[in-house]
Structure formats: structure tokens, C-alpha cells
């Protein structure tokens, strides 16, 4: 979107978008509060901080928190024109999300006409976070630790390998075929060897994540180095630049868009590998938690873990996008 279009979106349109957004979630709250509980269900009380509440109370509390978050977003959008386009354009989707929650709550919780226990209502799903918050937190932190170790090692190794492959023809000759062969093999296929070679399940899973993230980052980095224009190299040499200087200040900066493309691709594959590794032998993590609760047919807890995964993955992607936008700030305004 152009800056002129951003300026054309008046604060009044932002406020209308806020009303539409909040209306959906207010209807979800009203439906949960006013629609009678027809299907039999046990509403146990739990302590949340200094409050005592059941799952419906907690569900309405979460929806209220979402409403407050969007209210803050609206204030930021009014003050910052660059955020108005996105806030206004997504208002209908947010309204639809609130209506979808209302329908799911009525069908899955109030009436329980959806196949049970496979499709619980949103209030029952969120109740997991107040039933066993410590267990959820423990497994979430395990997943984050495993992901951080494997992913950071993988992208570091991938960037270094990609630079070597892209810059040195002899390294490309010997190493690139190995990357091509190992890159097409699913990382989970290496699990029996990883469990044998590494002393702990954590180290074995980290190794699988490293492999998963290494291939796309290395391939994209090498591509970025190799596609750097010869004219840029010649201009740098004409100005007296040494080979290390050209590599550090010409080739690597030119490759950064491809590097971040590889990192984004690796992030999605790494998260998939993480969950699969946790479901196949880890002593903790959200994948491990899903394996445990599904044995007892506690599918509302399975959905709670999936929701938490989605939130964590979205936050990680948002952080990577912020880093990418900062590093590649010189590209701003060059593309649509």
C-alpha cells in the first residue's frame, strides 16, 4: 500500500473497524453469558490469581482481554497512519472470528451437538490453562528451549555453510551434493541414528532440528552469494577493496534477502520437526503433552496445546519478521 493511501484512511474509518471488531467478540461474550447450558456439564471452580472462576468465567475473561488488546491497537492505528491499513482491512475477519467463537460455544459447550469428545467448545478448551497451568507451562518452556537450541544452531551452521558454498567453488563441489542428498530426507528418518549417537533425547531432537533448518538456510544463502552481480564485485575491486571486504560488505549483504527466505522456510519445517520429535520420545514438550492427554481422550487438552503452538509459532514468525524488516530496511519502498 502506498503512503498516500495510508493517509486517505481517516481515523473515523479506524473507529468503525474497531466497532465491527469488538462487536463480534461482544456477541461471543453475550452468547456465553445468556444462552442457557442445556447439555449436562460439570462447572468446577478454579483459582486464577486472586479470582475463583469456572471455565465460562475464564472464557469471558479471555475474550475481554482480546477486546482490550484491539482497543489498544485502535489507539495505535489512529496515532500511526502506517498501521491503519492493516487494522481496517482485517476488521471483517476479526468480526467473523467472534461469530465463529459464538457458534462453536453454543454447539460445543451449551448444546454439545458436535461429536464429543472430539470437538469441544472454546470454553472447555481454554479451561486447560486453569486446570493444569504448571504442566502446560513446563511443557511449553521445554518446547521453546528445544526449538531455540536447534533452530539457532541450524541457521548459524546454514549461513556459514551457504557462504562457503557460494563463495568457494571447491567447497561447492564437495559439500553441495551432500546438502542436496541430506536435504530431501525427512529429518525424522534420522531419529534412530540420532538416539544412538547422542547421549540424551534432548540432544538427539536438537540434532534433528539442526538438520531441518540447515538445508534451506544453506541453500538460500549460497544462492544469494552466487547471484551477486559481477558489476558489484568489479566496482568494489576498482575502489581497492580486498576479498574479505568484498565478501563481508558486498556478497553477504546482497544475499540477506535470500538468507531470510531460507530462515522463514526453515522455521516452519523446524516447528513441525519439533512436535514430531516430542511425540516420538521426548520427556517433555507440547508434542509430548498431546501424546499423554490423548490416551485419556482429553481432546480439549489436545486443542489447548494446538492453540498454544499456534500462538507461539505466530510470535516467533512476528519476531523474525521484525528482525528481517530491520536488517533489510534499505529495501523499504522498492517493492509493492
DSSP code string of 280-334: TT-SSSHHHHHHHHHHTT-HHHHHHHHHHHHHHHHHHHHHHHHHHHHHTGGGTTT
Instruction: Using the 3D structure, point to which of 131, 153, 183 is the last residue of a domain.
Output: 131
DSSP-derived 3-state class of residue 32: helix
53 DSSP β-pair partners? 46
> Does one domain contain both 143 and 28?
no
Element holding 46 (H helix, E strand): strand 46-48
pLDDT at 4: 45
One domain for residues 161 and 98: no
Euclidean distance between CA atoms 177 and 170, whole angstroms: 12
Residue range(s) defining the domain that contains residue 265: 134-331
Helices within 168-190 (DSSP H only): 169-183
Q: Are residues 222 and 142 in the same domain?
A: yes
> Is residue 336, in this structure, part of any structural domain at all?
no
Domain assignment present for 108: yes
Domain end (from 88, 115, 131): 131
Please give the helix or strand (H or E) that residue 52 lies within, else none: strand 51-53
Identify the pLDDT of residue 9: 66
Integer Cα distance of 120 and 110 in angstroms: 10
Q: How many domains does the chain have?
A: 2
Q: Which of 273, 250, 253, 182 is nearest to 219 (CA)?
A: 182
Q: Are residues 232 and 302 in the same domain?
A: yes
Please indicate, yes or no, whether residues 213 and 320 belong to a single structural domain of this protein.
yes
Indicate whether 25 and 139 sit together in one domain. Answer: no
Angle between helix 252-278 and 299-327 (nearest 10): 170
What is the mean pLDDT, run by run of 10 residues, along the chain of 336 residues? 51 83 93 91 83 91 93 80 79 93 94 89 93 92 94 94 91 86 79 83 90 91 89 85 86 90 90 85 88 88 93 91 86 58
Q: What's the pLDDT at 1?
A: 44
150/121 Cα distance (integer angstroms): 35
Q: 3-class SS at 165? A: helix
Same domain, 302 and 314: yes
Same domain, 314 and 171: yes
Q: Can you tell me the distance from the alpha carbon of 22 to that of 56, in angstroms, rounded to the nearest whole number?
A: 19
| In a shared domain, residues 188 and 201 | yes
> 167 in a domain, yes or no?
yes
Last residue of some domain: 67, 100, 131? 131
Q: What's the CATH code of the domain at 324? A: 1.10.3720.10
The pLDDT score that the predictor gives to residue 295 is 84
Question: Is the Cβ–Cβ distance between 209 and 270 less than 8 Å?
Answer: yes
Q: Among 116, 102, 101, 99, which Cα is nearest to 41's? A: 116
Residue 198's CB: how many other CB atoms inside 10 A?
15
Same domain (yes/no): 97, 161: no
Amino acid at each position: 500500500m502506498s503512503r498516500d493511501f495510508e493517509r486517505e484512511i481517516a481515523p473515523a474509518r479506524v473507529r468503525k473497524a474497531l466497532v465491527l471488531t469488538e462487536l463480534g467478540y461482544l456477541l461471543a461474550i453475550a452468547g456465553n453469558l445468556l444462552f442457557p447450558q442445556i447439555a449436562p456439564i460439570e462447572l468446577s471452580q478454579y483459582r486464577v490469581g486472586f479470582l475463583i472462576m469456572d471455565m465460562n468465567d475464564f472464557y469471558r475473561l479471555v475474550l475481554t482481554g482480546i477486546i482490550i488488546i484491539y482497543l489498544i491497537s485502535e489507539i495505535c492505528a489512529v496515532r500511526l497512519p502506517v498501521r491503519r491499513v492493516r487494522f481496517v482491512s482485517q476488521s471483517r475477519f476479526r468480526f467473523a472470528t467472534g461469530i465463529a467463537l459464538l457458534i462453536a460455544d453454543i454447539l460445543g459447550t451449551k448444546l454439545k451437538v458436535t461429536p464429543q469428545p472430539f470437538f469441544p467448545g472454546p470454553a472447555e478448551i481454554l479451561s486447560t490453562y486453569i486446570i493444569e497451568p504448571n504442566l502446560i507451562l513446563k511443557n511449553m518452556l521445554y518446547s521453546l528451549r528445544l526449538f531455540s537450541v536447534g533452530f539457532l544452531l541450524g541457521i548459524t551452521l546454514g549461513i556459514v555453510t551457504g557462504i562457503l558454498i557460494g563463495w568457494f567453488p571447491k567447497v561447492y563441489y564437495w559439500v553441495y551434493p551432500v546438502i542436496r542428498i541430506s536435504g530431501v530426507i525427512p529429518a525424522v528418518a534420522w531419529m534412530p541414528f540420532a538416539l544412538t549417537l547422542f547421549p540424551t533425547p534432548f540432544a538427539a531432537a536438537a540434532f534433528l532440528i539442526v538438520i531441518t533448518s540447515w538445508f534451506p538456510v544453506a541453500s538460500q544463502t549460497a544462492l544469494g552469494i552466487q547471484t551477486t552481480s559481477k558489476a558489484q564485485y568489479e566496482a568494489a575491486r576498482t575502489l581497492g577493496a580486498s576479498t574479505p571486504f568484498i565478501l563481508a560488505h558486498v556478497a553477504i549483504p546482497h544475499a540477506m534477502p535470500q538468507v531470510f527466505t531460507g530462515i522463514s522456510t526453515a522455521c516452519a519445517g523446524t516447528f513441525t520437526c519439533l512436535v514430531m520429535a516430542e511425540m516420538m520420545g521426548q520427556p517433555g514438550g507440547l508434542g509430548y503433552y498431546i501424546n499423554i492427554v490423548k490416551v485419556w481422550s482429553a481432546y480439549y487438552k489436545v486443542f489447548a496445546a494446538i492453540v498454544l503452538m499456534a500462538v507461539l509459532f505466530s510470535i516467533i514468525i512476528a519476531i523474525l519478521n521484525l528482525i528481517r524488516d530491520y536488517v533489510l530496511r534499505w529495501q523499504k519502498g522498492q517493492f509493492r
